[in-house]
């Protein structure tokens, strides 16, 4: 059974700090998606990475896909209260392109 472990599970930081969230597995994924979910809303896609070693930047957010396509990280620079939310990673099953494996999420609180 494929699993995606996210760490840390909870993170509470002050505005302006940097942070990194990790998404790890022992399985290879065809792609890796990152979503952010705010209270009372559905997850919203932030980025999709598909190539091993790929780095994508979205303003203050930097996403990296591991060389072996088994892990990914999300780094936020100078976090703001608006970054608060649940960050979810989801990996595309390399053997079954219809299957998506979800992590348990990282709940981030950025305090002003």
- Which residues form the interface with other proteins (CB under 8 A)? 31, 33, 35, 37, 40-45, 48, 86, 88, 90, 92, 97-100, 102, 104-105, 107
Report in angstroms how near the CB of residue 102 gets to other proteins at its nearest: 5
Please, which residue, 40 or 112, has the CB nearer to other proteins? 40
Please, which residue, 14 or 98, has the CB nearer to other proteins? 98
Yes or no: say if 107 and 12 are a contact pair by the CB < 8 Å rule.
no
Comparing CA positions, the residue from 85, 107, 99 lying closest to residue 33 is 99
Please, which residue, 43 or 66, has the CB nearer to other proteins? 43
Give the position of tokens 């305090």.
111
Give the position of tokens 């209260």.
81
């Amino acid at each position: 059974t494929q699993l995606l472990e996210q760490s840390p599970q909870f993170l509470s930081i002050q505005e302006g700090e940097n942070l990194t969230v990790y998404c790890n597995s022992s399985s290879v994924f065809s792609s890796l998606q990152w979503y952010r979910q705010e209270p009372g809303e559905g997850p919203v896609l932030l980025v999709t990475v598909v190539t091993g070693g790929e780095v994508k930047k979205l303003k203050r957010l930097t996403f990296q896909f591991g060389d072996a396509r088994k892990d990914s990280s999300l780094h936020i620079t100078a976090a703001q209260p608006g970054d608060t939310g649940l960050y979810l990673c989801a990996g595309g099953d390399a053997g079954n392109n219809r299957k998506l494996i979800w992590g348990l999420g990282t709940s981030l609180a950025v305090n002003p």
